Structure formats: structure tokens, C-alpha cells
């Protein structure tokens, strides 16, 4: 087994997580905290098992993967030296491609 890789959250992913907390906390701050804890805890597995998530179907790029923590998708990009969590979105949302230098690297999640 390879040694664990660093998991880094992008600003976009952090904003998505904050938006989830803010929305859920309107009706239940406690449930919002638990949901954020579940999402962040779930990303611990990808440090050791980066390919454990499925390939994001909208892109079909091997390095762009997702974990499902219902009702959210945790989208991450596998790099040789680290794992970047690039977005956390509701499962009902589909991701679009804005182009970019690396296919799937600049995912538009809006």
C-alpha cells in the first residue's frame, strides 16, 4: 500500500461546504454540523485509497473522481503528490466543463 497523500480542499470546495452548512443550518444547526463532519470525514479515505471513488460520469477522466455522501457528491482530482477536493455539490446537480488546459481540471460546478 502506498503512503497516504495529502488531501487539499480548493477554495471552491470550501465555499461549497460552507454553503451546505449555511443552508442546512437555517432549519437545524446541529444537523448542519453533523453533515459537514460526515463530508469531511469521508474524504479521509481518499488519502490512502485515492482511486476508491468512482470516475465522475460527466467527464470520464480517470483522475477526476467522486465520493457520494448522500445527498452530496464530493468531487476530487487525483494528482501524483496530493488529492484536491475540487467541489461538493448536491447529487441533483450535474457538472459542466468550462474547458481549460487539462480535461476536467477546471470543472464548472455552478
| pLDDT band of 107, cuts 50, 70, 90 | very low
Q: What is the pLDDT of residue 93?
A: 72
Q: What is the pLDDT of residue 98?
A: 34
Instruction: Specify the higher pLDDT residue, 96 or 41.
Output: 41
Residue given cell 488519502 in the structure block = 47
| pLDDT band of 100, cuts 50, 70, 90 | very low
| pLDDT band of 105, cuts 50, 70, 90 | very low
User: Helix (H) and strand (E) counts for the chain?
Assistant: 3, 7
| 25-54 pLDDT tens trace | 999 999 999 999 999 999 999 999 999 999
Q: What is the pLDDT of residue 95?
A: 64
* Contact (CB, 8 A) for 104 and 56: yes
**Distance, CA of 82 to CA of 86 (rounded, Å):** 12
Quickly list H helices, 44-97: 44-48
Domains located in the chain, CATH noted: 6-93 (3.30.2310.20)
pTM for the structure as a whole: 0.81
Amino acid at each position: 500500500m502506498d503512503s497516504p497523500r495529502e488531501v487539499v480542499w480548493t477554495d471552491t470546495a470550501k465555499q461549497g461546504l460552507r454553503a451546505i452548512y449555511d443552508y442546512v443550518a437555517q432549519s437545524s444547526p446541529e444537523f448542519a454540523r453533523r453533515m459537514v463532519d460526515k463530508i469531511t470525514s469521508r474524504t479521509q479515505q481518499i488519502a490512502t485509497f485515492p482511486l476508491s471513488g468512482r470516475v465522475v460520469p460527466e467527464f470520464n477522466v480517470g483522475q477526476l473522481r467522486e465520493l457520494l455522501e448522500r445527498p452530496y457528491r464530493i468531487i476530487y482530482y487525483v494528482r501524483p503528490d496530493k488529492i484536491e477536493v475540487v467541489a461538493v455539490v448536491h447529487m441533483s446537480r450535474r457538472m459542466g466543463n468550462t474547458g481549460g488546459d487539462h480535461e476536467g481540471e477546471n470543472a464548472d460546478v455552478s
